[in-house]
Amino acid sequence: MSLVTDLSKAVIWLIRAGAAFRVAYCCFRLISNEEEAQSYKARIKNVLVFYIIAECIFQLKDIIIYYFS
In angstroms, rounded to a whole number, what is the distance separating the alpha carbons of residues 17 and 57? 17
Q: What is the pLDDT of residue 21?
A: 98
- 38, burial (CB in 10 Å: exposed 0-12, middle 13-18, buried 19+): exposed
Over residues 59-66, mean pLDDT: 90
Question: pLDDT by residue (tens digit) across 32-62?
Answer: 988 999 999 999 999 999 999 999 999 998 8
Q: What is the pLDDT of residue 59?
A: 92
Q: What is the pLDDT of residue 4?
A: 81
Q: What is the pLDDT of residue 5?
A: 83
Phi, psi of 33 (to 5 degrees): -125, 90
- The pTM for the full model equals 0.83
Residue 52 CA, chain-centre distance (Å), reads: 7
